[in-house]
Homo-oligomer: A and B are copies of this chain.
Amino acid sequence: MQKYFISDDDFKNNKITSDDAFHISNVMRSKPGDVVLVGNNGKTLKVRLTNITKNEVSYEIIEEETGNNELPVFISIFQGYPKGDKIEDVIKYGTEYGVAEFVPTIMKRSVFKLDSKKKESKLKRFQTIAKESSEQSFRNNMSIVSDIKYLKEIDFSQYNVKILCYEEDAKIGEASNLKNIIKNLNLNDKVAVVIGPEGGVDDTEVEYLTSKGFIRCALGPRILRTEVALYYILSAISYEMELK
């Protein structure tokens, strides 16, 4: 069954507008009577479509869905901006793995240059990927891409758990920090995870982040590429907190 995350206004008014209306009418070619899921702010409704145009779709509510498959902690991934389009896969698959928020982060070793025109179109594209991946994986909450930021612009004060993925420590055998953090996670903790771009985290960035309360963590003894490092953390958290 198709799921659509819709705006607060649409949710209040039992309707679907914007690109989703176009998707329902012209891509899915849905008919009145068809059933879809609509999501907003953690709520999911099973609804029956009543009237369909390419600009607006109305529906009646059948029932509220009560399942919840969200990770028990809120995870923000501060992904050091990698080369090429790799960040798109990070967002797509990271959403399925349960990430709450992505912040593409420009770090010392990022090749990406921030120009405001490029930034806006990139950000919009990333947000579309996050929305579609959230819908396809039936997340309760839509994962968000909040902004593209320089590391120093980011305010980490809202996070009570701060993980810095640091491959240099893998080389010297550090193997306890991540497990120690994950074993002590509590429901609804806010977890910030910083992952360096290709080439890793620069020494001055390590210093800066540890001064902000980040704990340097190796992700096992092997060095993982930037674009797949997040899965280690997300899996470990799911394994520890969601499996019994």
Contact = CB atoms under 8 A, between A and B. Distances in A.
21 contacts: A96-B222, A96-B224, A97-B222, A97-B224, A98-B220, A98-B222, A137-B223, A138-B223, A139-B222, A175-B243, A175-B244, A220-B235, A220-B242, A220-B243, A228-B231, A231-B232, A232-B238, A235-B235, A235-B236, A236-B236, A236-B243
A93 interface: yes
Contact of A232 (B138, B219, B220, B235): B235
Contact of A221 (B219, B235, B242): B242
Nearest to A139: B222
Interface residues of A, number: 33
Nearest to A170: B69
A112 interface: no
A143 B64 CA distance: 48
Nearest to A92: B225
Interface of A: 69, 93, 96-98, 137-139, 175-176, 178-179, 182, 219-225, 228, 231-236, 238-240, 242-244
A182 B240 CA distance: 12
A175 B242 contact: yes
Given A231-B231, A235-B231, A236-B236, A243 B179 contact: yes
Contacts of A242: 175, 220-221
